């Protein structure tokens, strides 16, 4: 069952780390784009909105799916704990330690989701502001 622990530690946590890096990178790309965009160059508000909202779906997807990926890691780690308990005689303190460590992926998933949600909301507000500037 050691492979399951490795998958949880490196696979799940690694995926969450990658998701957070992607969310921050896309956020920064949008911020730099917003700084240089010339809204008067667009012929229609719809085209402007389309260009401004590029990459937002990916950030929103990361925000909504990170907790599920973290929860998957927790479920797998708890399954591993139960399998280990069935195969050996563990002390209660070791069982509690294993269950506590199993929750680390849920915590990581929540952290990624919170960060991505905040970044998404910041970008949505900036888009609303740019669209209001276009209309005036």
pLDDT, tens only, 118-136: 999 999 999 999 999 987 7
Asked if 12 and 73 count as a contact pair (C-beta separation under 8 A), the reply is yes
Confidence bin at 4 (pLDDT 50/70/90): confident
Domain boundaries, the chain: 2-135
Neighbours of 59 (CB within 10 A): 26
pLDDT of residue 100: 82
Tell me the two tokens of residue 13: 């946590």
For residue range 65-121, what is the model confidence (pLDDT) as tens digits? 999 999 999 999 898 888 888 888 777 777 888 788 789 999 999 999 999 999 999
pLDDT of residue 97: 80
């Amino acid at each position: 069952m050691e492979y399951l622990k490795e998958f949880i530690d490196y696979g799940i946590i690694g995926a969450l780390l990658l998701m957070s890096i992607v969310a921050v990178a896309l956020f920064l790309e949008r911020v730099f784009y917003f700084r240089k965009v010339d809204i008067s160059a667009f012929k229609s508000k719809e085209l402007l909105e389309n260009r401004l909202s590029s990459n937002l779906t990916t950030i929103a997807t990361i925000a909504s799916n990170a907790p599920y990926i973290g929860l998957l890691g927790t479920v797998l780690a708890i399954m591993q704990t139960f399998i280990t308990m069935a195969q050996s005689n563990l002390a209660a303190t070791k069982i509690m330690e294993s269950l506590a460590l199993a929750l680390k992926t849920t915590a990581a998933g929540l952290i990624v989701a919170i960060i991505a949600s905040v970044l998404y909301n910041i970008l949505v507000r900036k888009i609303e502001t740019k669209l209001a500037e276009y209309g005036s």
